[in-house]
Structure 1
Amino acid sequence: MKVIQMLVGQMGVFAYLVGCEATGEAVAIDPAGDEEQIVARAQAEGLKIVKIVNTHTHADHTCGNTKIKELTGAPIIAHEADAPHMDNAHNQSFAQMLGCSRLLPADETVKDGDVITAGQEVKLQVLHTPGHSPGCICLYTPGHVFTG
């Protein structure tokens, strides 16, 4: 499994690519901007983004979703408690302040205990960690915990 951390967006958010070295399938976690850079890095590493996952749905962590989805066709995934707020007026206004395109709603939702997969190697267990937002999550795989 390949893990790549990138500092992206106006708010300096860490985005991650978590990829299967056997198949090249990857998950993009919190693509908060610099979308072309994220996709180019994935391609340079031999990865194809097949899922977009947000640790929470505030615009500073989701404003890259629209462009990444447009470039890759990957579905957007968020926790079921946050998904209804993903493209609300507050988040849309925040996204505009950050210079981001219109936010899209989640294509899929997850809950505590679900496992998000990509290829043969990537298995990210969803840990519901409400607090920063009602649907905040961490993603666990042995040796790594991805937080937002």
Structure 2
Amino acid sequence: MKVLRIPAGPLETNCYIVIDEDSKETAIIDPGGDEERLTAALEENQAKPKYILLTHGHFDHTGAVVALKNKYKVPVYVTKEDYDLIHFNNNELFYMEDYDGSLKDFITEDTVFELGRNKITCIKTPGHTPGGVCFYVDGMLFSGDTLFYRSIGRTDFYGGDYRTLVNSIKTKLMVLPNNTTVLPGHGEETTIGEEEQYNPFF
């Protein structure tokens, strides 16, 4: 598999373009903005978008969703809890420009996304938001704003809960192999083993 990391949008959120190199089937994870740059990267790699996957519903992870959805005619997946969060929040912090209410392909704990012969699984990790998730494939964890290099997601936004977040990380993520590469929504990559040993929140 080929993974492109493209910081995009007003907060330079890491958007990940995950490409099965045989079929070119592609998942776009957390397109936070700059749809022209994302489109250029997709076309340069002859990618065939199949899904847009959202780790959660905050504006900085969703800014290019509508443009990419309309361009490539692909489904957008989010949890029911965070769909409600997007729908509920109309203040500037969570506002997604041109949001059209069409994000209704809901993720559950059992949802599996196929890219060629690869399977992306969903891990529900509430805490940063009520319906936050991570995506796992081929030894890589796309952690959104759940787990960062030496840090964890904020919980002072609407729907956030510190204890829930820490419990999600300890019970859902720290059980993964130590060599799992963690690809977060902001900042540099890390591994599960490094965070278990050095993250000050554990």
Q: Determine the structure 2 residue equivalent to 1:139.
A: 135
SS of residue matched to 1:112: coil
Instruction: State the Cα distance separating 1:113 from its structure 2 match.
Output: 3.2
Aligned length: 144
Instruction: State the Cα distance separating 1:29 from its structure 2 match.
Output: 0.3
Q: Residues 56 and 79 of structure 2 are in contact (CA less than 8 Å); yes or no, is this contact kept in structure 1?
A: yes
Q: In angstroms, what is the RMSD of aligned CA positions?
A: 1.8
| Range that drifts further, 79-88 or 41-50 | 79-88
Instruction: State the Cα distance separating 1:103 from its structure 2 match.
Output: 5.0
Q: In percent, how many aligned pairs have the same letter?
A: 30
Q: Determine the structure 2 residue equivalent to 1:51.
A: 51
Please say which structure displays the higher CA radius of gyration: 2
Higher relative contact order (CA 8 A, sep 6+): 1
Q: Which stretches in structure 2 are left out of the alignment for 5+ residues?
A: 145-202
Paired residues for 1:1-148 under 5 Å: 1-90=1-90, 94-95=94-95, 100-102=97-99, 104-121=101-118, 123-148=119-144
In 2, distance between residues paired with 1:94 and 1:103? 14
Alpha-carbon distance change, 103 to 30 in structure 1, aligned in 2, over 3 angstroms: farther
Instruction: State the Cα distance separating 1:89 from its structure 2 match.
Output: 4.0
Alpha-carbon distance change, 60 to 103 in structure 1, aligned in 2, over 3 angstroms: farther
Show structure 1 runs of 4+ deviating over 6 A: none
TM-score, length of structure 1 as denominator length: 0.88
In 2, distance between residues paired with 1:125 and 1:49? 17
